[in-house]
Amino acid sequence: MQVAVWDTYVTKKDGTIMHFDIIAPEEIKDAEKIYAFGRSYLKTKGEEGQPLSSEECTFCHIESLRPGNEEEIIQDGYYIVEIENCN
C-alpha cells in the first residue's frame, strides 16, 4: 500500500513547535480531511484548538506503508509519526 506523508508543524499552547507527520492512504486527496486527522491527534495531546491548515501542514511525498502500521490505517484511516515536541 502506498501512503502520503503530510509534514506538520503546529505551535503548541506553550509556544513550542510540535512536529509530526500525518500518514494517510495516497488516495485521500482532500487536504481538509488530512487536517481533520491532525486536529483529532492534537486533541489527544491536549492541544485542541491550535491552528492546523495549509500553513502548518503540507503534502511531502508518497512512500510504501511501513510494516506494523497497516492496522492503524485500516482502523483510523491514518496514523501519526511523532517527530519533535509531541509530549
CA distance 22 to 57: 9
- Ranges of H-type helices in the chain: 31-44, 70-76
Contact 32, 24 (CB under 8 A): no
In this predicted model, what pLDDT tens digit does every residue of 15-49 receive, in sequence order?
Answer: 999 999 999 999 999 999 999 999 999 999 999 99
pLDDT band at 51 (very low <50, low <70, confident <90, very high): very high
pLDDT band at 66 (very low <50, low <70, confident <90, very high): confident
Phi, psi of 19 (to 5 degrees): -115, 125
| Domains annotated on the chain, with CATH | 2-84 (3.10.510.10)
Mapping DSSP to helix (H, G, I), strand (E, B) and coil, where does residue 69 land? coil
